[in-house]
A and B are shown apart, each in its own frame.
Chain A
């Protein structure tokens, strides 16, 4: 009995050592293949990294579930929002004719897009679910231009790794990796259920990212930057969410 347990102790010790070593190797590989999220530091870094890495490996090209027209929720929830600021109200008074989306950073042709310009590109629609981290959800038909189309027009440089996008509300900005930025269902959305996108749902312009939770689908977007590092943005955690204690990657 005693010998057996000693032998067992040694083998489990060796197994633990092997485990720690392979963890180190895994961390290196993960870093190289872009499987480490910008908010990997801190006590929850392990969980965030495991979730992001595994979902990136499993879901790089998968498509968010799309639903039939009959499954569209009767009322898309306009959820609670901070009060709209002066700058927004002024643009709203002008029917959003002067709303602009600027794209810069690691692109060949930085530029500014008006709503009319964005609407002139081939539009796409998707009937997808918007799920909030709180637990509620609704299904709606979103219309817009795929983000990849706008990025192609701007000409992303090969070293680009993230797209950072900003709301007119200075406290709301997010970023996504290129897998999500170039994903066919990632839209710059301007329409909801066949109509203009209501202000309550993020109109006139909202980033729509159906494979992540609602807070990544930033409302009232005005600015985008393509970058190879998130260090220079805010506290360097990737977006406003981690600064408020929320995960940068919100696929779960």
Chain B
């Protein structure tokens, strides 16, 4: 409410003149939460689809008659899969696949809008691209050490992402998301009929599926670290900033 925020001195921070100043633009807030919803839908449905065949392979083909690269020690929703469990889970693939692709569509379209808008509004350059000075080993190692020591973020970080945050977000946006979309499309029989290199570059359809699985794990890892960091920086203030906009710090004592 009546937070009087002291203006941080961080070079890249957006200075606030009034309490009405927003930490995140409406566009960033809306796309953030659409992405969150889609990601959860993709995660849940993705797990459901994996359960129908919790074995992973490398190359073009793989099935119960071939040697897997590895298998997950979980029961399956198909009798055909030898899991070692004496029971078979109910089949959930129908709605899971439908939800997976629908969420993927919304996520990809939202992501495209975010990128286009982020490019033209300068959001990517100002808020995500690390400053030149921040990329020195000294700054980076200090930032890493601070994170490892769980040092509380400075006031300035209520206004601006720190360098590790920026690098992490850039990695997710420009490496993990493109990779997960690419490997997803590489599993589509029809898509690769038009663009065969999508799958051959990855070493085959089963390789694409295995890479898709690992990239998803990395995205989940990012999500967990992200939540922990938000918690650590002050869950209430950071959530408030991402929902309604105003920045600030949590009032409760450490």
Q: Mark A residues whose CB is within 8 Å of B.
A: 1-2, 5, 8-9, 12, 44, 46-48, 50-51, 55, 58-59, 62-65, 67, 71, 73-75, 77, 79-80, 129, 131-139, 210-213, 244-247, 251-252
Contacts and interface: CB of A to CB of B under 8 A. Distances in A.
A136 B191 contact: no
Nearest to B94: A245
B190 A133 contact: no
Interface string B1-28: 0000000000000000110111000110
Given A55-B191, A129-B189, A211-B190, A47 B64 contact: no
Which bucket holds chain B's interface residue count?
A: 35 or more
A247 B61 contact: no
Given A134-B93, A135-B209, 13 more contacts: A47-B99, A48-B102, A59-B191, A64-B193, A77-B64, A77-B65, A80-B79, A129-B61, A129-B205, A133-B93, A137-B63, A247-B101, A252-B185
B188 interface: yes
A212 B190 contact: yes
A64 B189 contact: yes
B61 A55 contact: no
Contacts of B188: 55, 251-252
A252 B62 contact: no
Interface stretch (B45-53, B140-148, B154-162, B216-224): B45-53
B194 A62 contact: yes
A58 B99 contact: no
B20 A1 contact: yes
Nearest to B93: A133
Nearest to A9: B26
Contacts of A65: 192-193, 196, 199
B80 interface: yes
14 contacts: A1-B21, A46-B102, A47-B99, A58-B195, A59-B193, A62-B193, A73-B65, A80-B78, A136-B64, A137-B205, A139-B60, A213-B189, A251-B188, A252-B190
Interface string B191-213: 11111100100000110010000
Contacts of A55: 188, 190-191
A132 B102 CA distance: 20
Contacts of A48: 98, 101-102
Contacts of B215: none
B66 interface: yes
B115 interface: no
Interface of B: 17-18, 20-22, 26-27, 49-50, 52-53, 55, 60-66, 78-80, 93-95, 97-99, 101-105, 185, 187-196, 199, 205-206, 209
A212 B192 CA distance: 11
The 10 A-B pairs of least Cβ separation, nearest first, read A245-B94, A47-B102, A251-B190, A44-B98, A135-B53, A136-B63, A252-B188, A62-B194, A134-B52, A62-B193
A198 to B, nearest CB: 14
A51 B55 CA distance: 26
A135 B79 CA distance: 14
A205 B192 CA distance: 27
A211 B99 CA distance: 21
A131 B26 contact: no
A80 B80 CA distance: 6
Contacts of A73: 61, 63, 65-66
Given A55-B191, A247-B97, A47 B105 contact: yes
B37 to A, nearest CB: 14
A9 B52 CA distance: 46
Given A46-B102, A134-B52, A75 B65 contact: yes
Contact of A246 (B21, B94, B199): B94
A251 B61 contact: no
Contacts of B60: 67, 71, 129, 137, 139
Nearest to B30: A12
